[in-house]
Amino acid sequence: MDSVNCDRALSALAIILFSFALGTLSVVVPLLGVHAGYTPSEIGLLVAVAAIAQLITRLYMGALMRRIPDRSFLVGSGLMIAISCALLAISTAVVFFVASQLVQGIARAFFWTSSQTHAVRTSAAPVSGLRDVNLAAGIGALLGPTVAGYFWEASVQLPLIMGIVAGSVSVVPAALLIRFPPFAARPSSPTGRDVRLWRRPGVNAACWMNTGAGVWKSILDSYVPLALSLAGQTAAVIGILLSIANAAVLVGSTASGWVRRRGVRASLVIG
């Protein structure tokens, strides 16, 4: 196996493990909030803390990746998702809950940005690299909620321990990836008037599509498990239902090559 194929295999393993830990938290956080006596609105706010932390961190990722290799962010994301699980395993007090969500949000920002840029840099075609990332993430997201829901029935702490282990182990393959140099600073426009990224063709539509996907994902990670729990569904059933929803990622990633060949306009409409 050459170095590039080996790197892709290691990257897929790290992504599966990280997504497994993240999928575990998607079930555990709402259920743990209910178990600890938080109200639905308070649980919604706690879930939003991770989203806010991810958003703020991503604002600085461009500058950070011009100074730090993408491999380092993948290593850091694995450690941070493990810490996020560990904080909830220690206590469900609001301070620990908020700290866990902050760390999880930063981990997500590190992970998604670095895993995608690394995949693009090791692939002949960017679309195939991103497809591999989504496939690996889909596998982890498929397994995480189901396993977490099943083991929640035995112990509240057990799914968190599994998340700690998965996040920690993901550091090993991430550390073995090819060490690409940090990105070079973008040269200034010859005219001195740079075109803002969001003004470029297609970027605006892509941003709105990601907004829609983000809204769906946030509901899936907060309100859906909360509503199912309040309706009397068991944690095992909730985990299976979330995994079924996450299976759509695998279906979409598998079909992405065919959809892309239909053209950008068709891709946006189908998406």
Cα 31 to chain centroid distance, Å, stands at 19
Question: Who contacts 238 (Cβ-Cβ below 8 Å, separation ≥6)?
Answer: 27, 31, 145, 149, 225, 228, 229
Contact (CB, 8 A) for 129 and 119: yes
Q: Say what the pTM is.
A: 0.85
Q: Which tens digits make up the pLDDT trace of 52-111?
A: 999 999 999 988 999 999 999 999 999 999 999 999 999 999 999 999 999 999 999 999
d(CA 32, CA 235): 11
Q: Which tens digits make up the pLDDT trace of 181-207?
A: 888 876 665 555 555 666 666 677 777
d(CA 125, CA 185): 23
Q: Label residue 231 by pLDDT band (50, 70, 90).
A: confident
Q: Which tens digits make up the pLDDT trace of 251-264?
A: 776 776 777 777 77
pLDDT at res. 190: 58
Q: Label residue 114 by pLDDT band (50, 70, 90).
A: very high
pLDDT at res. 255: 74
- For 260, list phi and psi in degrees, rounded to 5: -65, -35
d(CA 175, CA 171): 6
| pLDDT of 159 higher than 60 | yes
Mean residue pLDDT across the chain: 86
Give the CA angle between residues 259, 264, 266 to the nearest 5°: 55
d(CA 108, CA 114): 10
pLDDT at res. 72: 94
